[in-house]
């Protein structure tokens, strides 16, 4: 009886401790941390601004570019898994109050490195990338670009909207996701002639490719990426704008389930255009690396070929069995809905396409060669894989979505 009594006491104590911790998490919310003033003044040069913009195109613009304002004023991240709640990216224009116009270079470096807001001490949620291993020169280039006269950064008084994380997301910030220490030593830029080392740097310290292409986001190791579970072997499911879970592919050198059968040139072409060697387009949330040069993309390939191969064939997205029209079928099967949503009002809204491009031939050309109209576009090069007839059908479906005002959705 005494043993049972003590077991009951232990269980009660554990329940009280756990319950007390959960109550603490619920009351305090996302934790805050002490901040540090960083003495940094970046020398702004044209070269740094250009390189910073190239980095920002792949790291910042996708989340912060508001399709309504056409500026980096932030918007809702509608592709966030529902388990995390609602999230809004911030206004990072040069507005002194609503944006980052009054931030110092040290403030920006502190945020990028640690993931802690330099003024409030609040930890940024896990979906905001942090760069503890990024070379000092790349950090300086991003800061130089943020100080530049890029039209996307023009001061705009758009209010920031506060995110609404779930209890689960807040809980994770207390036990799993922690801020990084600010580097105490300089981080040198890698030797770009050593393509394996340069590719490792790009894939694990800049673009963090492993974060999505490993087995489980919660089991990634940002301080030592190769220790992440299923490192580059894929398997993580991420929702697209249509609500479909897209399983991130295996990009190890495995010849069947990975990219080991791809040539270096095919890999470069796929990332630059968004079109795989088999002619299928990459689906969002993967976007093409339209601003990254061939040497950098080839270096990532060279590095991936040194990563231990993992035999993991990932499932393809489940698509509808039937469609209302051939245009809708193309819209879904070519992955347009993964970014635009089933009704055209997704991450990149199509609702103004009808007015912007009233001429059918122009709308077809926009779909075929989007980069001519918007160099920063992440759209795949559909002109490579779609016939003129298919492009006409897609354009007709886009007009149908516009006329429906975003109310058309596939059942």
Q: What is the CATH number of the domain that holds 245?
A: 1.10.760
195 phi and psi angles, rounded to 5 deg: -65, -30
| pLDDT given for residue 170 in this prediction | 78
123 phi and psi angles, rounded to 5 deg: -75, 130
- Cα–Cα distance for residue pair 85/80, rounded to 1 Å: 8
Is the pLDDT at 411 greater than 50, yes or no? no
- Cα–Cα distance for residue pair 402/327, rounded to 1 Å: 14
Strands 164-165 and 245-247: unpaired
Of the segments 92-96, 366-370, 402-406, which one has the largest average pLDDT value? 92-96
Mean pLDDT estimate for the chain: 89
Could you tell me the residue range of the domain that residue 160 belongs to?
46-175
Share of the chain above pLDDT 70, in %: 91
- Cα–Cα distance for residue pair 30/12, rounded to 1 Å: 27
Would you say residue 181 lies in a domain? no
Would you say residue 287 lies in a domain? yes
| pLDDT given for residue 94 in this prediction | 97
Would you say residue 104 lies in a domain? yes
| pLDDT given for residue 175 in this prediction | 76
pLDDT (tens digit, 9 = 90+) per residue, 152-189?
999 999 999 988 888 887 777 777 788 999 999 999 99
| pLDDT given for residue 410 in this prediction | 42
| pLDDT given for residue 315 in this prediction | 87
pLDDT (tens digit, 9 = 90+) per residue, 293-326?
999 999 999 999 999 999 999 988 888 889 999 9
pLDDT (tens digit, 9 = 90+) per residue, 33-59?
999 999 999 999 999 999 999 999 989
Q: Residues 93, 71: contact at Cβ < 8 Å?
A: yes
389 phi and psi angles, rounded to 5 deg: -65, -40
237: three-class secondary structure by DSSP = strand
Buried/exposed code over 93-120 (b: 16+ C-beta within 10 A; e: otherwise): bbbeebbbbebbbbbbbbbbbbbbbbee
56 plus 139 within the same structural domain: yes
202 plus 287 within the same structural domain: yes
pLDDT band at 406 (very low <50, low <70, confident <90, very high): low
CA-based torsion, 247, 252, 256, 261: positive or negative:
positive
User: Of 144, 175, 206, at which residue does a domain stop?
Assistant: 175
Give the pLDDT mean for 67-87. Answer: 86
208 plus 150 within the same structural domain: no
160 plus 264 within the same structural domain: no
Would you say residue 20 lies in a domain? no
């Amino acid at each position: 009886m005494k043993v049972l009594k003590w077991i009951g006491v232990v269980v009660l104590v554990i329940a009280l401790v756990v319950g007390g911790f959960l109550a603490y998490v619920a009351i305090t919310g996302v934790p805050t941390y002490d901040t540090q003033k960083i003495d940094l003044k970046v020398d702004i040069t044209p070269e740094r601004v250009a390189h910073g913009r190239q980095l920002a195109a792949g790291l910042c613009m996708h989340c912060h570019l508001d399709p309504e304002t056409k500026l980096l004023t932030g918007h809702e991240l509608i592709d966030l898994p529902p388990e995390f709640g609602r999230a809004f990216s911030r206004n990072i224009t040069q507005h002194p109050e609503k944006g980052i116009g009054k931030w110092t270079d040290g403030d920006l470096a502190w945020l990028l490195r640690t993931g802690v807001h330099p003024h409030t001490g609040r930890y940024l949620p896990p979906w905001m990338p942090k760069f503890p291993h990024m070379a000092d020169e790349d950090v300086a280039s991003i800061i130089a670009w943020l100080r530049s006269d890029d039209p996307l950064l023009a001061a705009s008084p758009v209010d920031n909207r506060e995110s609404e994380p779930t209890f689960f997301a807040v809980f994770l910030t207390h036990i799993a996701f922690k801020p990084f220490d600010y580097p105490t030593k300089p981080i040198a830029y890698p030797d770009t002639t050593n393509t394996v080392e340069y590719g490792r740097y790009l894939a694990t310290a800049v673009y963090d490719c492993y974060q999505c292409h490993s087995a489980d986001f919660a089991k990634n190791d940002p301080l030592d990426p190769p220790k992440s579970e299923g490192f580059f072997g894929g398997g993580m499911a991420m929702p697209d704008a249509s609500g479909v879970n897209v399983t991130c592919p295996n990009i190890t050198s495995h010849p069947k389930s990975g990219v080991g059968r791809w040539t270096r040139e095919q890999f470069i072409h796929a990332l630059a255009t968004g079109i795989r060697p088999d002619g299928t387009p990459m689906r969002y949330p993967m976007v093409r690396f339209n601003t990254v040069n061939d040497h950098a993309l080839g270096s990532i390939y060279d590095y991936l070929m040194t990563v231990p191969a993992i035999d993991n064939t990932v499932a393809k997205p489940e698509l509808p069995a039937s469609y209302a029209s051939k245009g809708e079928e193309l819209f879904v099967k070519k992955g347009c809905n993964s970014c635009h949503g089933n009704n055209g009002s997704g991450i990149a809204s199509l609702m103004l396409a009808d007015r912007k491009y009233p001429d059918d031939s122009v709308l077809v050309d926009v779909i075929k060669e989007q980069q001519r109209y918007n160099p920063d576009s992440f759209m795949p090069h559909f002109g490579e894989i779609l016939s003129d007839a298919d492009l006409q059908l897609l354009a007709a479906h886009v007009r149908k979505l516009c006329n429906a005002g975003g109310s058309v959705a596939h059942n």
